[in-house]
Structure 1
Amino acid sequence: MLKQRILTALAIIVPVFLLIAFAPSGLVAGFVLLVIALGAFEWARLGSFEGQGARVAFAVLVLAVPAGLLLIWGDAGWTGFHAWVLALGVVWWGLVFLGLPAYRPGLGARRWGRWLLRGAAFPTLAPAALALIWLHDSAPMLVIYLILLVAAADTGAFFIGRRFGRSPLAPDISPGKTREGLLGALAATLPVALIGAWAFGLQAMDALVFVLLGIVVALVSVAGDLQESVLKREAGAKDSGMLLPGHGGILDRVDSLTAAAPVFAAGLLWTALFAQGG
């Protein structure tokens, strides 16, 4: 299984990084929206929508939010309406972060709980799409940095948790995740954030803000992972799909990124560390 995961990861990450680094912004935006649409389709399946037609309709509805905002406001929206969408994304993940400890299995069995899980796709996926597109517009390397940061957090959590994990982080959601793994995630992101600050040529105070933002982003990315775990647990599914051998579905790969992207983008906007087109 580990070998399959590595091979699939390599097959994905090389072309994706090349696309991010060299493709024009419009093509990258189209790719991001495609990923969001596929993720929304998987979300519909986990949300107990019956039939392909209902799932496709749900995916189109979710996709219409970021696509519509880009179509209507375009680049002019980054300092206005799009920024508010990113802010709503940050608020959403703050609520998720606070609400996860209160979760108990059986949420999806209640009608209101089932619709809550379904509706969560909108504040999860739409701000993430806009954030990734804005980051690429600002500097393609910011997207690559964010992916590496989240990957470092996931890797640190996995290996440290596997070796030293003793204290469950969220036993009702994902029994395998531990507090030691969380500390491992934060520790693994620190060198990536430091290298990123150096690579972007930030001065001392800006570098400090950038590193602290990276740690916050890594912490929030864990909430993205746990939120998807709730969705899968309520659906009785091990993976969100079967599109990626050894990894599961699209959501299984981007769950942490959906939380990290709007927080990172909003942090850069609010601190003015990077200007669009810089």
Structure 2
Amino acid sequence: MPDSMQLLYYCLGGILSVLLLATLIIIGLKQCRPQHNWLELQQRINSWWVILGLFSLAMLSPRWLALTFFGFISFLSLKEYLTLAPTRRSDHVPLLWMYAAIPLQYIWTGMAWYGIFIIFIPVYVFLFLPVRMVIIGDTKGFLHSASVMHWGMMSTVFALSHVAYLLTLPGSDASEGTLLVIFLVVLTELNDIAQYLWGKSLGKIKVIPKVSPNKTWEGLLGGVFTTTLLATVLGPLLTLMDWKHAFGAGMIIALGGFCGDVVMSAIKRDFGVKDSGKLLPGHGGILDRVDSLIYTAPLFFHFYYYFYI
């Protein structure tokens, strides 16, 4: 068995072991302190089992099935976004074209056709959607509707497809690409958790209280420290990066994850909602779980692509 495959199994086993430990802890807390309400925490743990179970299966699947999994995540994210976003009744045909662009974007990803992958949505879809809207002939709210569609495509499809493209990078076998995905996704999620825990423990100074009242400078700096440290240790073990580039990747993931989180918080506040959906009990919707990836995925991808491809 190749070393990279062994690392892949070790990583997935380690992730599931941590989740099992968290499950045992919540069981112990419920036994020791039954007077407390542990429902939300229990729901979060249960949802993590589903999320990590599906993620692990995708990572162990053939490449085409893993790409299909990420394409489905983009579909659910876009659907959730469009459910919240104010669009016009006359926009139903352009909305269908938005969904039709998802499989095309992931086909370019599966082909590792970098040239068309990197311009298909930012150039061709960007130019096509307004023209299709013009043909309908409804000019009222045109610019607002076009901007809603473009942001939705860029965030939920283009940005997230960078996670999938890591699987098809030239010069790496399937398991090496999978380890890159695990490195990115796990550190992004751990960064969210670390910022939350540091903020709850020490947080006093608000960063942007009007957008995200729970975000503090202590939580941000603690998350950056934790994520960068983990990246510096795990990067050379799981990827081709040396410790210096792994350190840089950790900084990018930590700061990018924070930016993705607060930007999506601002969008949800504009929509007048706290969570983007109810698909994941204890977490909210798909967008609530991938909001940080919207920034970390393209930033990490291009960082790695520049230095190692």
TM range (shorter): 0.7 to 0.9
Q: 1:214 aligns to what? A: 250
Q: 2:287 aligns to what? A: 251
Q: 2:117 aligns to what? A: 82
Structure 2 gaps of 5+ residues are 1-39, 123-140, 170-176
Counterpart amino acid of residue 185 in structure 1: G
Question: Residue 71 and residue 223 in structure 1: after superposition, are their counterparts in 2 closer, same or farther (change >3 A)?
Answer: same
Matches within 5 A, 1:1-278: 1-20=40-59, 22-49=60-87, 58=95, 60-71=96-107, 75-78=111-114, 80-83=115-118, 116-138=147-169, 139-200=177-238, 202=240, 206-272=242-308, 275=309
Q: Residue 177 of structure 1: SS of its match in structure 2?
A: coil
* Superposed displacement of residue 223, structure 1: 1.3
Partners of 2:238 and 2:183 lie apart in 1 by: 10
Partners of 2:236 and 2:81 lie apart in 1 by: 38
Partners of 1:145 and 1:155 lie apart in 2 by: 15
Deviations 1:21-64 (A, max 9, x none): x111111111111111111111112212478x978973x44343
Q: 1:101 aligns to what? A: none
8 Å CA contact 1:169, 1:178 repeated in 2: yes
Deviations 1:222-248 (A, max 9, x none): 111112111211111111011111111
Counterpart amino acid of residue 295 in structure 2: A
Partners of 1:73 and 1:225 lie apart in 2 by: 25
Counterpart amino acid of residue 156 in structure 1: A
8 Å CA contact 1:160, 1:180 repeated in 2: yes
Q: Residue 213 of structure 2: SS of its match in structure 1?
A: strand
8 Å CA contact 2:105, 2:158 repeated in 1: no
Greater CA drift, 260-269 or 183-192: 183-192
Q: 2:134 aligns to what? A: none
Which one scores higher on RCO, CA 8 angstroms, separation ≥ 6?
1
Partners of 2:304 and 2:119 lie apart in 1 by: 14
Give the structure-1-normalised TM-score.
0.78
Question: Residue 269 and residue 83 in structure 1: after superposition, are their counterparts in 2 closer, same or farther (change >3 A)?
Answer: farther
Please provide the CA RMSD for this pair.
2.8
8 Å CA contact 1:169, 1:177 repeated in 2: yes
Deviations 1:59-82 (A, max 9, x none): x4434334324436852512x232
Q: Residue 34 of structure 1: SS of its match in structure 2?
A: helix
Partners of 2:109 and 2:180 lie apart in 1 by: 23
Partners of 2:112 and 2:232 lie apart in 1 by: 32
Aligned residues: percent identity?
29
8 Å CA contact 2:276, 2:285 repeated in 1: yes
Counterpart amino acid of residue 196 in structure 1: L
8 Å CA contact 1:62, 1:125 repeated in 2: no
Counterpart amino acid of residue 42 in structure 2: K
Counterpart amino acid of residue 234 in structure 1: D
Q: Residue 127 of structure 1: SS of its match in structure 2?
A: helix
* Superposed displacement of residue 218, structure 1: 1.7
Q: Residue 278 of structure 2: SS of its match in structure 1?
A: coil
Partners of 1:38 and 1:56 lie apart in 2 by: 18
* Superposed displacement of residue 14, structure 1: 2.6
